[in-house]
């Protein structure tokens, strides 16, 4: 067994001892397992059963190593944050950081993003962050882009009416694709867009958070783009 494989197995083993991690191991039978493989039904009860408060919930989708989730939790102690990713070895990093820093308002969920409506109730989520997702540049994979009409439909199933979705990316094609998607959706409201956020004063303190990959993008001279939108339930929101 290689060193890499051993490290992954250790991380997977660690996750089963963490009380801030929930995992779905079978996408065809979506059940959440937490510490020591205990089954949990948290849909509609994340605030009460996990966080023990009534604070707003923010999801970070495709959270990777969870840096953004943890830093958001540190920045906003009166909000709850859940990082979601399909890779357990990635989530391990953020979950470990959250434990070390005693971030009780940060949790992690290992599952496919397509399944979020199985684990969250309508209006249970106030806000979504999407930070540096795979842009899926081939046209044949457009539906896999996390700002595609398919995913916006899924987000509406868990967001409150008028809930916020925020995209931070280095990909110009994904940036343009997202703007086009918004313009074609009568229930989507563009709140802010900027194709080079560091060329001027930042509009939100949350944008100051830089992931490992963002640091690399900046060192390579790439421009960081940002889009903020609101998702409404009907076309009569104006």
What residues are annotated to the active site? 134
Return the structure tokens found at 14: 């660690």
Do the Cβ atoms of 160 and 123 come closer than 8 Å? yes
Provide the edge-to-edge strand list for the sheet that holds 125-131: 39-40, 32-33, 21-24, 106-110, 80-85, 57-61, 125-131, 159-169, 225-231, 188-194
- Per DSSP, the chain holds a count of helices (H) and strands (E) of 7, 10
Nearest to 69 by CA among 33, 30, 23, 101: 101
> Cα separation of 49 and 123, whole Å?
17
Phi, psi of 234 (to 5 degrees): -145, 170
> Cα separation of 208 and 178, whole Å?
22
Return the structure tokens found at 122: 């309508």
> If you ran DSSP here, which 8-state letter would residue 64 be given?
T
Distance from first CA to last CA of the chain, Å, rounded?
59
* Element (DSSP H or E) covering residue 112: none
């Amino acid at each position: 067994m290689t060193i890499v494989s051993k490290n992954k197995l250790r991380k997977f083993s660690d996750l089963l001892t963490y009380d801030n991690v929930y995992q779905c191991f079978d996408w065809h039978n979506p059940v959440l397992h937490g510490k020591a493989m205990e089954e949990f039904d948290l849909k509609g009860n994340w605030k009460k059963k996990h966080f023990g408060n009534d604070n707003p919930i923010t999801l970070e989708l495709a959270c990777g190593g969870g840096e953004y989730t943890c830093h958001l939790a540190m920045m906003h102690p009166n909000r709850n944050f859940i990082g979601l990713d399909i890779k357990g070895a990635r989530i391990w990093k953020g979950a470990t950081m959250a434990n070390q820093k005693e971030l009780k308002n940060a949790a992690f969920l290992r599952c496919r993003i397509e399944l979020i409506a199985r684990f969250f109730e309508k209006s249970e989520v106030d806000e979504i962050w999407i930070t540096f997702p795979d842009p899926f540049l081939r046209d044949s994979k457009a539906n896999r882009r996390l700002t595609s009409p398919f995913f916006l439909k899924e987000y509406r199933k868990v967001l409150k009416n008028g809930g916020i979705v925020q995209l931070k990316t280095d990909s110009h094609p994904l940036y343009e694709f997202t703007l086009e998607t918004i313009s074609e959706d009568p229930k989507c409201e563009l709140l802010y867009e900027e194709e080079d956020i560091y060329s001027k004063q930042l509009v939100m303190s949350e944008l100051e958070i830089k992931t490992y990959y963002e640091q690399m993008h900046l060192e390579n001279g790439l421009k960081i783009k940002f889009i903020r939108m609101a998702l409404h339930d009907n076309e009569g929101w104006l």
